[in-house]
Amino acid sequence: MAEDKGPQAAPAQPAVSALDAGHKDWMNDVAFNYYGTQFATCGGDHEIHIWRQQNSSWQQTSTLRQHQQAVLRVVWAHPEYGNVIASCSLDKYVMIWEERVDPVEGAKWEQKAKLAESSTPVTDVAFVPHSLRLDALLLAAASEDGVVRFYLAHDVMNLTSWIAKTEIRIKAPAQGSHRPCISWSTARSLPPLIAIGTRRNPKESVQIWKFDPAGRNHELYHSMSDLEDVYDVAFAPSMGRSSLLLAVACARGSIRLFEISALPGEPTKTDVREVSMQRDTLSGPTENLQVTRVSWNVTGTILATSIAGLELPTGQHILWQPTTSGTWIPQTD
């Protein structure tokens, strides 16, 4: 008879630690590098903080202070181009930063470029995914006036020179602050696509554009209407899927998920259907709630959402996974 060893200890849970990001105002964004060994934060105090993992703990290694107003987004380029980040701000500028190693001073971050084409605040930035194999360091920057500009690094060995290659003007009413947000698709089975979410634009709340790398002919691939104001959009990593998943973060606590696929034999036409999600996650009134961010894990099988509002002063974060029937439900533990 097997020996009774008594109650067994529960499996160890992954350690979760909290960090004081050091910002003196709201923290607006956090982004990890490709390998997960560094991350950057940005906030309303005009600062960007760089953190590095050292001896199993996180240490702040740099503070970048060139923006003159709140920094809204920070993103990392693919490591093929070195340690490079881009940031955007209410001050209307996009800035490019690079970490260089000095033989005496060690690793040091430098501002390499300041892109000043926008006449309104720049609300989002996104490097083109390396998986699309466009063989270029290309950055999309969305401005409050509804223009998405595409910047090309003239020489990846010298990031001081960037070319404003082309732009997309979203379809929206001329008046109002549309505060666009953007996300690139990573799928190689379809042409390069960029999703643009907008506010105060109910007729075309989310627009998916086919990006022409030559910069000659960008086409509106599909648009979605009658959504609440859109605060964030995120394509799921394709991971070999024949279709795309697009998560949309909206006002009034609304999270929407769409599956997008090309029609068989007609690659220029799309079939778009909304994916079922459990809707009773939030209790109480949702009029003053906003889903502010949506983000995917590396396999596109878990969706993370962040919700803020008067009823949730400390915010709420929900992870979603699909059931065998295809309905996405919140994780309970």
Q: What is the pLDDT of residues 288-333, one digit of tens each?
A: 889 999 999 999 999 999 998 877 766 788 999 999 998 999 986 5
What span, in angstroms and rounded, lies between the C-alpha atoms of 130 and 249? 25
More confident residue, 284 or 46: 46
DSSP classification of residue 80: G
Compute the Cα dihedral for 316, 241, 181, 201 and give only its sign: negative
CA 164 vs. chain centroid, Å, equals: 21
Torsion angle, CA of 235/21/38/100, rounded to 10 degrees? Answer: 120
Instruction: Give residue-wise pLDDT tens across range 258-288.
Output: 998 876 666 566 788 999 887 666 655 677 8
Checking if the pLDDT of 13 tops 60, the result is no
- The CB density around residue 79, as the number of other CB atoms within 10 Å, is 12
Residue 282: partners with Cβ closer than 8 Å, 6 or more residues away: 253, 289, 307, 316
Distance CA(129)–CA(187), nearest Å, equals 10
Q: pTM of the entire structure?
A: 0.89
